[in-house]
Every structure is written in structure tokens, then in C-alpha cells.
Chain A
């Protein structure tokens, strides 16, 4: 257990709780909570991930290298970075990919959703609800469930591998399409595993629905892609529960990033500088009607309505989204015919391109300015976790206030769970900075 508490010397009864490092998240972060006079005075999710300066190192590279380079931002959701990047650059070049290529890309993305969500549901999040330190200890008492989770994750990985070449940092995605497209027979081999996975995902929904969920609602605007015909993944307009409806190219005019000192992720804020939340709850609430029937039925049976604002139930929504991704994957494979060519030519074009897709953790927005030779002049990448950071801290403040009377160990664990509700991916956040500038904060 890595939590520490300190009591202040003079300024009344002040309790500071520091969890460092915060476990079962992707990348490194710390949780800081300050309780003064029986109230939560401050809650911070501090990011200890060193900056990797992706936007700076992209300058001067060729636009065709962008999907390979941006994949390296995150080992858990490389496909999300590749998909947002190729969308931005293809729109800039004025090219439209073959409908079958679009289908394959969505299938690839389904694989990533299955893999990433299964990792989070089973390995990172379920142990919180059942009171285990980790999934390996969970496996001692719930062997069948953990094995099911691992197999689900493996099938997601298999989809990414067959379409993308390998699970982590796929090699097959290029501006204009793919390097090589799979044969019908190669995809057919995924049908049986995906059908099993859809059943396993339905089991997952039923299993998770029995967990105890605190009565707690997120009160911030939810932001996600919306699409008229499909549950959003690789395409759509940006919508919100406040009625926002804009093309992805207008992201910059409605959302801004702030460089705040304590965490140094660039926090994103919405139109009126208010925080907002992206991810499964936002997608689900804005797109319930576009979920496949099997996923909607499973959601209703699990007690979910057409909206969900309880962040603790994000695990349930992720399980529903695994059902949707498996079902969608099967549909895409059934409709697949190899395109005439794996890619269309992408002539370098001067200008600015915008892309936005739904990473498993929420919208991932990219903007590239390119010259006529295809050289990147400027890049801006807004990953989901930096958009969620303010919402996470707000949840921490609000939720911690309701459980201050609980024993220390329980309070700390619950606060960790509040953070893990968002499946934060710290590695993802290209903007994240160091944290130990604020060490004095910890020692006070």
C-alpha cells in the first residue's frame, strides 16, 4: 500500500493523503487529497509521466510517417492515434478511402476497443469492486471470470494483429488505406472467436451488473462523437449533452487547453471554460440508439437506461461496448470483400487537416499543418485523458466529501477507484509534464 498521510502542524486539522504511485492505470500518476476541517479542500491527480514532446518531434517529419510515429504515444490504444492521424491527413489531401478500407479500419478499431476494455474491466477495474489488490489475486477466487477476461482481451488483440500486423503499434495502417488488406479467409478465421467473445461479453455485462455501485452522478457536460448511422468510432461530428453539434474541424474554436501548474497535462475546457467529460459514459449517453440491438438489450437487462452519468458504472458501459464491438466486428467481416487496391494515392497537400475518433477512453483530436512537400509544420494532439482530468478531480472532491467518515484505508481505496473509473491513460497524454516541481506540496 502506497498511501501516506500527513497532518499539518498549525493550520487547524488538515489531513493530506498521497497515493504514489497510483496503481492499475496506464502510465504514472499520483493522487493528492487535502482534507481541512472536515471538508475536502483540494483533490489533484498529478501526472508524473515525463514529457515526450511528440508535437515538437513531429515537425519536419513527412506526413506519411505520422501514423507510425503517433502510434508510439500509447501502447494500449495505438490504433486510436493512427485512426485520428490518417483521418486528418486524408481529409487534408482531399481523398476518400475505399468503403471496404473504411470497414477494415472500423474492424481494427473494434479489436482495440475489445482489447483495451477487457484489460480495464478485468485486470484494472473489477478488482476494486471485489476488494482485491489485482487481477492475479482475483484469479485465485474467480478463475473462470479472469480467464474469460484474458481470452476476451486476446481475441481483441487477434483482430488487431490480423488486420494491423501486430497487437501493439500495428504496422499496416497508412495514409490512404493499408499496405496489405486481409483475404476473406483470413478474416473468416476471426468469426468463431468473435462469436465466442460476444457471448463472453454478454456474460461480462451480467457479471459486472451485480457489482455494488455507489449512488453518484457526474454533473458535467458529456462530449463524444455522434454519427447518424453507427455507434461512433472512426467517424462523426462532435456532440455534447448541452446540444453542441460541430464538425471535428471546429474543435479548436470550441475547446481550449490550459496549462495548469499542478499536473501540467494540458487540461482541456469547453466553450464556457467549464470542464467536460469524454469516454464511455459520453458515447453511450449520446449514442444509445445507435448501439447494436444485442448491446442495447444487454444494457437494459443490466439495469442501464438510455443515459448513464454514474462514473462507477463506466465498467458496465465498457462491458456493453465490448458486446457492441464484437457484434459490429462480426457484421463487418460478413460484409467484407477485398477492395480493388489496399490504398489510394495520397498526394502531399499544403494546409491544415483535422481528425477526431473515439479512442476507448474518449475522443482523440489531431490537427496537422503540412506544406506542399508533405512536411509537418505543426501538430496538435489532444488525447482523451487530458480532457478528463478536470472531471476526475471534480469527482474526487465531490465523492471524497461523502465518505470522509470512513476508515483511512477505505477512503484511499475508494478515491483510487474514482480515478480508475475513467481508465486514465497517462502515457497517452503527449502534453503531460513532470510533477516533482510540486514536491513541497507533498511534504507540507
Chain B
């Protein structure tokens, strides 16, 4: 294997839909530039040329759901100078973490006739539950502009400039009419991490939390506001239990409505 002076990039997949690593290929304008700035050392979705570590930057997509993956993530951490998780699965357990609220042995037979063939962990967990993570990029899916920013920041040895504010703030800044106040459409924007550009309100729809909880969200107040618009406990549980269900603030809030 030849050692190039370029930083060596690896892209890894755990339990996920492939969408976040696809975002890298979706950077059509930037892709060839990124490919010129790094050595793509491990990216099976894009290339059959695969080389061993160590890697300077590992992007990890997906959550840990099997005993083998729980082992594999440690191997990847050991081989990586910097490890960045991309997307809701890797940072919060993803939609498949809905099973964390149930007994997995009850769920498997709903899908498979021969559950004995299946070996999975009881919970779908974020990568940071297993190893140290240098940076977590949120979103279901991630925003490709943020992905380019994170890779660029890494290449220049600086922290990524990614807003930690709420979708609500993004929406205000974009000058949109509030769907919740003006139309009575329930919206998770005030408690949801920014990144999508307040997409749903732009489509006359309430935010449904793709980017997970923002820093220190006031979820009880959010739940009260939803209740004022007619949401019952069952709906609130579902609302906080979606793509980022296992992220601590959302998990606590959904559990509060179960009691």
C-alpha cells in the first residue's frame, strides 16, 4: 500500500438506510474536489479499492445493533485518528431504536418466520455509547452542506461551524410565518436541532424532529403547547419517539407521557 500525504478518509456503515453516506455522493459539485483533497481509503459503497488503516478521518453512519457491530466499532475507533458520526442513527440510535422501548424478542417474530437465525442486541445504540466520538453531525438525513463544512473543517484542523440552535430560530431568521402560532399546526421546531433550514414550515408542515433535540430543549413546555392544540398522550409519545427517539431529552419526554 502506498502512503500518500493526503489525509486518508474512511466511510463506515452500521444499521442505517445508506442515506447519510449517499449525501457524500450527492455533493455532486464538491465530490471531485473532496476526492482530490483526500485519499478515499475505505468507502465500499463507492469503490472496490479498499485499503487497511490507520485512517485520518472516519465517517460512521448507522447505529450499533449486533454483537459483531459492537466489536467492530472499537476496531474502527482504534484505526481512526478522528471519528465523526453522521446522522440520526449514529448519533441517536435512529428509527430502529424504537425497539429499545419494547422487548426485542417480541418484535423479531413479527418480521421473521425463523427468529432463531437472528442475532441482534436488545437495543439500537448511538456510536458514542461505545467509543469516543470526536464530532457528531445530526439529521435524518444529514444536510450535505453541513457535511462538506465538517470535512472541510477537519481538513483545516478547526472546529466545524455548525449552528447548535433550534429549527425555530432558523425559521424565524428565514422570515417564515409560524405554522404553530398562525395556523395551529403543531411543530417541534423550538426543541429540534437546526440543520435542515426549517424545511417543514416552508412546506406548511410542522417540524417532526429529524435533527433530534437541540441543546437543553424545554420539552415539557413543548408538550404543553401541543396539548393545548389537542394532542393526547399517545400522540406525544409518538411525536417524541421517531428518528431520534433514544436521544436523552426526547426519550425522557416520551416516557413522561407513558406514566
Docked CA distance A434–B69 (Å):
11
B68 (CB) vs chain A CBs: closest residue: A436
Task: Verify if A57 is at the interface (C-beta below 8 Å from B).
Answer: yes
Most buried by A among B20, B69, B99, B111: B111
Docked CA distance A205–B69 (Å):
41
Task: Kindly list chain A residues whose C-beta atoms are within 8 Å of the C-beta of B99.
Answer: 53, 56-57
**CB <8 Å contact, B117 and A169:** no
**CB <8 Å contact, B15 and A52:** yes
Docked CA distance A178–B23 (Å):
24
| Chain B interface category by residue count | 35 or more
**CB <8 Å contact, A56 and B95:** no
Task: Kindly list chain A residues whose C-beta atoms are within 8 Å of the C-beta of B242.
Answer: 65, 68-69
Task: Kindly list chain A residues whose C-beta atoms are within 8 Å of the C-beta of B94.
Answer: 52, 72
Docked CA distance A50–B63 (Å):
10
Tell me which of A74-82, A102-110, A228-236, A327-335 binds B: A74-82
Q: Which of A55-76 contact B (CB under 8 A)?
A: 55-57, 59, 61-62, 65, 68-69, 72-76
Docked CA distance A151–B49 (Å):
24
**CB <8 Å contact, A136 and B32:** yes
Tell me which of A23-31, A317-325, A362-370 binds B: A23-31
**CB <8 Å contact, A134 and B17:** no
Task: Kindly list chain B residues whose C-beta atoms are within 8 Å of the C-beta of A133.
Answer: 47-49
Task: Verify if A165 is at the interface (C-beta below 8 Å from B).
Answer: yes
What's the least CB distance linking B49 to chain A, in Å? 4
- 24 interchain pairs, CB-CB under 8 A: A1-B50, A22-B44, A28-B13, A54-B95, A56-B110, A57-B98, A62-B235, A65-B242, A68-B208, A72-B19, A76-B18, A76-B22, A134-B47, A136-B35, A146-B32, A154-B28, A171-B203, A264-B117, A427-B16, A434-B66, A434-B68, A434-B117, A434-B118, A434-B120
- Which residues of A approach B to under 8 Å, CB–CB? 1-2, 21-28, 49-57, 59, 61-62, 65, 68-69, 72-76, 78, 119, 123, 133-137, 139, 146-147, 150-151, 153-154, 157, 165-169, 171-172, 178-180, 259, 261, 264, 266, 342, 413, 416, 425, 427, 430-431, 433-434, 436-437
- Which residues of B approach A to under 8 Å, CB–CB? 13-23, 25-26, 28-29, 31-32, 35, 40, 44-50, 65-66, 68-69, 94-96, 98-99, 104, 107-108, 110-114, 117-120, 124, 140-141, 196, 199-200, 202-205, 208, 210, 235, 238, 242-243
